[in-house]
Amino acid sequence: MGYVHVYTGNGKGKTTSAIGLTIRALGNGGQVAFLQFDKGFEGKNEHYHERFILRTLAGLDMFFFGMERMMPDGKFRFANIPDDFDQARAGLAKAQELISSGKYFMVVCDEALTCVGTKLLAEEDILGLVKAARDGGDCELVLTGRGCFPALVEAADLVSEIQLVKHYFYEGVQARPGIEF
């Protein structure tokens, strides 16, 4: 029987936790699908450095959805544009497909919960993924992001909240390659 894992909260380490579970599952011979929501940019200046090593791991299929949010001037784009919504819906459809395929021991939906908070997806969309995992039987579903909602807490089997106690960002330190991305 597969379980539903949630890693949420305002602290740093939600994606890192999902990557750790991914590596553990792969080490045990499981196939893993790793989807990143609202982190779609791939290219010459790719921002998510974990992808470089993850791409080399046998048994891991990766899928990225979202539009570029880093602007040429180095600032982050917070406002959603129409393509952000299209990308979130495409990621949701792909997650449903992968969960239902029966091919994967684990399906990770990184930042899917954050998409609810930013209105790119609805709570019902996330609960639909949980239902798909339950209907599939053996797939471990891992959901990450800020803003876990009460119905998901109730539906999930494991919920870990990562709390922010202190972060150097608030002292003016910008995100650092190899640490934050």
Confidence of residue 171 (pLDDT cuts 50, 70, 90): confident
To the nearest whole number, what is the mean pLDDT of the chain? Answer: 90
CATH of the domain at 98: 3.40.50.300
pLDDT surpassing 70 at residue 110: yes
* Beta strand spans in 43-121 (E): 60-64, 106-110
pLDDT at 175: 75
Helix 123-136 vs helix 82-100: angle between axes, to the nearest 10 degrees? 10
Cα dihedral sign, 158-149-162-52: positive
Specify if 177 maps to a domain. no
Q: What range does the domain containing 101 cover? A: 4-171
